[in-house]
Structure 1
Amino acid sequence: MKKVKLGKSGIEVSAMTIGCWSFGGGDYWGEQSQKDVDSVVNTALDLGVNTFDTAEMYNNGASEISLGKALKGRRDEAIVISKTGPDNAGRVREHCIKSLQRLGMDYLDVYMLHWPINKLAVKHFTSDTSEVLPTIEEAYAQLDALKKEGLIRTIGMSNFGRKQMEEVVHTGIQIDVNEMVYNILSRAIEAEIAPYCLEKNISIIGAMGLQQGLLAGIYKTPDDVPANQARSRHFSNNHGGGASRHGEDGAEKEMFSTLEQLQKIADDLHVHIAQLSIAWILKKPFMVSTLVGSRNINELQINVEACSLDISDETEQLIDKISQPVLDILGNNPDYYENSLNSRIF
């Protein structure tokens, strides 16, 4: 398994990161057995996958608890990433310690703010509008203090746009990674965010590598997709079970046309569509790792094999071409749940 250094940190992450959102079970992904989590985590380590991504908000902390149980006895082999919400940006140390307690660990390899510090982002984490948010300088000074204390090894950010990254960089505090949604159907970061990260040596870990199962070939029509997973701008605002916020028409026709063409390419190459989707991501020079959920050993093995699949430049360019209609509609707004006027990422 290929490993790449995160920014200037010296920390080496595997080309695939295990997304742990489903760990611990919850309303969004449904039940998840600890037995399967243990198998996935230990088999992943055996196969050279060393990076695991969780957050305090994933299943109200149950994800961190579940991951900690699975890594018992093998902590030193793993790179563990966790995140706290922007509503907690003024209490970073307190929330870092709570995450460590749930994980049963004494340090995190990477700690991030889950979203930028702005009112649009914060309102999705808390209904308390009275709290005064810290400045970027104040929040990242706290993160830097955690690093100096040895509670975290390096500092990251998640869902930060070009201008927001510039604000953090201007603090002078070393930032080594930005975690952003990136896959064949979600390419907004190509415009500004990826070039800036390359320029500043900030690594990108791509979230939602399989777009919540769409790029694994699980769904054949928009109606097949569960309502709680159809709230993104890829879908019509009517398809989110009343919970969509973007108010847009989506790109359903173009998206499923892309998926149909992608399946044909995968068939011609005799690979799984999920493997082709992951290989395309890792072909991009600005990606160090792609974050993929693996709920059982079968899914894990399919995904791991993709990391050694080297697609040709021609195949990469063909996939760029067939997914361009989706990019044309969704545009360069990297917030896939809010329209450009309400985007939390800028």
Structure 2
Amino acid sequence: MEYRRSGSSGLVLPVLGFGAGTFGGRGELFGAWGDTDVAAARRLVDICLEAGVTLFDTADVYSDGASEEVLGAALRGRRDRVLLSTKAGLPTGPGPDEAGTGRARLVRAVEAALRRLGTEHIDLFQLHAFDAQTPVEETLSALDDLVRAGKIRYLGASNFAGWQLMKSLAAADRNGLTRYVAHQVYYSLVGRDYEWELMPLGHDQGVGALVWSPLGWGRLTGHIRRGAALPPGSRLHRTAAAGPPVDDERLYRVVEVLDELAAETGNAVPQLALAWLLTRPTVTSVIVGARNEEQLRQNLGALEVALTPEQLARLDAASATTPPYPRYPYHRLPDFARLDPPLAGVQ
């Protein structure tokens, strides 16, 4: 296992982390992801620890808190061997105090997460979304107090726009408050929006990326191909539909290159998609999930994949999209690159 620092912080994470969104199985969305119970979760944790995966990520909205409960029970007796990451901020009910990142809600959310996880501290606590109704100074001050109280070790954000993250970082610096050191983002071969603004921001500001849904909401599992029906019993029609849309032609183009590389290397399609992400700038850890041992072991096999520069270039070309303004329409002009060059490894 390789370990990387999250941005410019002292938080060291494995390049693959485990996402516990499949734990618990409550609700329509998370029930479609999986319904792993404590016994099965304990076995998945065993496999992770054997491979050096020490980061376990969850959230209060995953199965209405059941994911945190199952994860906490599965880790009982070995808490000191792992890093626990959880998130809060998304609505958990209809009430006015059941959404957002105001001080009172954050304190309650952290206390509830600590109880469900059965721990005295959270290693990485992330805001699940930006709360435009609450001043960033209030949110950051509350989080800073929780850090100083020893209940949180490091702070992160998730699903922030570039201006939201930069506003928060600037406010933390201006007021001497604890900074975000991680940004949990959607990033995949069929979802490269992260590269245009958030990646350069993370590079400039020392914020590492934790990647969620690295297989494009199930589209890169190897089950979707041009002209082929989904396998019987597949959940992809539900999970993929919940994610951002992907143009069919682009998806098939990416999958076809992955199939070519699978034939060349002997690796599975998901392993190749994960391996591509591990080469990208600012990526600290890629969060993988699994409903069973077979899926988990296959995902862990991405650590053994070594793609050549030529193979990486083929994946880059197949998955490329036109960047948004203001990078478009100047991104292809050599003179523009003199002013705002792309990060190394990003085409």
Determine if the TM-score, normalized by the shorter chain, exceeds 0.5: yes
How many angstroms apart in 1 are the aligned matches of 2:243 and 2:25? 22
- Alignment match of 1:43 (pick from 42, 47, 65): 47
How many angstroms apart in 2 are the aligned matches of 1:231 and 1:175? 28
Higher mean C-alpha displacement, 178-187 vs 258-267: 258-267
Is the CA contact 1:39–1:296 (under 8 Å) kept in the aligned structure 2? no
User: Match of 2:149, as an amino acid?
Assistant: E
Aligned to 1:54: 58
| SS in structure 2 of the partner of residue 214 of structure 1 | coil
Aligned to 2:208: 203
List aligned pairs for 1:1-346, cutoff 5 A.
Answer: 1-26=1-26, 27-28=28-29, 29-86=33-90, 87-90=99-102, 91-118=105-132, 133-171=133-171, 172=173, 173=177, 174-220=179-225, 224=230, 225-234=236-245, 250-324=246-320, 327-328=321-322
Gaps of 5+ in 1: 119-132, 235-249, 333-346
How many angstroms apart in 1 are the aligned matches of 2:124 and 2:248? 36
How many angstroms apart in 1 are the aligned matches of 2:139 and 2:278? 32
Gaps of 5+ in 2: 91-98, 231-235, 326-347
User: Match of 1:254, as an amino acid?
Assistant: R
How many angstroms apart in 2 are the aligned matches of 1:223 and 1:229? 14
Q: TM (normalized to structure 2)?
A: 0.82
Higher mean C-alpha displacement, 285-294 vs 254-263: 254-263
Q: Which has the larger radius of gyration?
A: 2
Q: Given the superposition, is the C-alpha separation of residues 213 and 232 from structure 1 closer, same or farther in structure 2, using an over 3 Å criterion?
A: closer
Is the CA contact 2:250–2:318 (under 8 Å) kept in the aligned structure 1? no
**Alpha-carbon offset, residue 228 of structure 1:** 4.6
Q: List per-residue Cα deviations over 1:107-129 (Å, max 9, x = no partner).
A: 000111101113xxxxxxxxxxx
**Alpha-carbon offset, residue 266 of structure 1:** 1.6
**Alpha-carbon offset, residue 314 of structure 1:** 1.3
**Alpha-carbon offset, residue 145 of structure 1:** 0.8
User: Match of 1:77, as an amino acid?
Assistant: R
**Alpha-carbon offset, residue 40 of structure 1:** 0.7
Q: List per-residue Cα deviations over 1:269-304 (Å, max 9, x = no partner).
A: 111111101110001121111111122221111111
How many angstroms apart in 2 are the aligned matches of 1:230 and 1:331? 24
Aligned to 2:344: none
**Alpha-carbon offset, residue 218 of structure 1:** 2.5
Is the CA contact 1:283–1:311 (under 8 Å) kept in the aligned structure 2? no
| SS in structure 2 of the partner of residue 226 of structure 1 | helix
How many angstroms apart in 2 are the aligned matches of 1:216 and 1:38? 24
User: Match of 1:82, as an amino acid?
Assistant: T
Higher mean C-alpha displacement, 224-233 vs 203-212: 224-233
How many angstroms apart in 2 are the aligned matches of 1:284 and 1:59? 31
How many angstroms apart in 2 are the aligned matches of 1:30 and 1:3? 28
Aligned to 1:125: none
For the aligned residues, what is the CA RMSD?
A: 1.9
**Alpha-carbon offset, residue 331 of structure 1:** 5.6
Is the CA contact 2:24–2:63 (under 8 Å) kept in the aligned structure 1? yes
How many angstroms apart in 1 are the aligned matches of 2:275 and 2:319? 15
Q: Given the superposition, is the C-alpha separation of residues 98 and 181 from structure 1 closer, same or farther in structure 2, using an over 3 Å criterion?
A: same
Aligned to 1:339: none
How many angstroms apart in 2 are the aligned matches of 1:219 and 1:319? 17
**Alpha-carbon offset, residue 267 of structure 1:** 1.6
Aligned to 2:336: none
**Percentage of matched positions with identical amino acids:** 28
How many angstroms apart in 2 are the aligned matches of 1:223 and 1:84? 37
How many angstroms apart in 1 are the aligned matches of 2:272 and 2:306? 9
Is the CA contact 2:267–2:305 (under 8 Å) kept in the aligned structure 1? no
| SS in structure 2 of the partner of residue 88 of structure 1 | coil
| SS in structure 2 of the partner of residue 290 of structure 1 | strand
Q: TM (normalized to structure 1)?
A: 0.82
How many angstroms apart in 2 are the aligned matches of 1:282 and 1:203? 12
Q: Given the superposition, is the C-alpha separation of residues 154 and 30 from structure 1 closer, same or farther in structure 2, using an over 3 Å criterion?
A: closer
**Alpha-carbon offset, residue 30 of structure 1:** 4.2
Aligned to 1:128: none
How many angstroms apart in 2 are the aligned matches of 1:331 and 1:22? 34
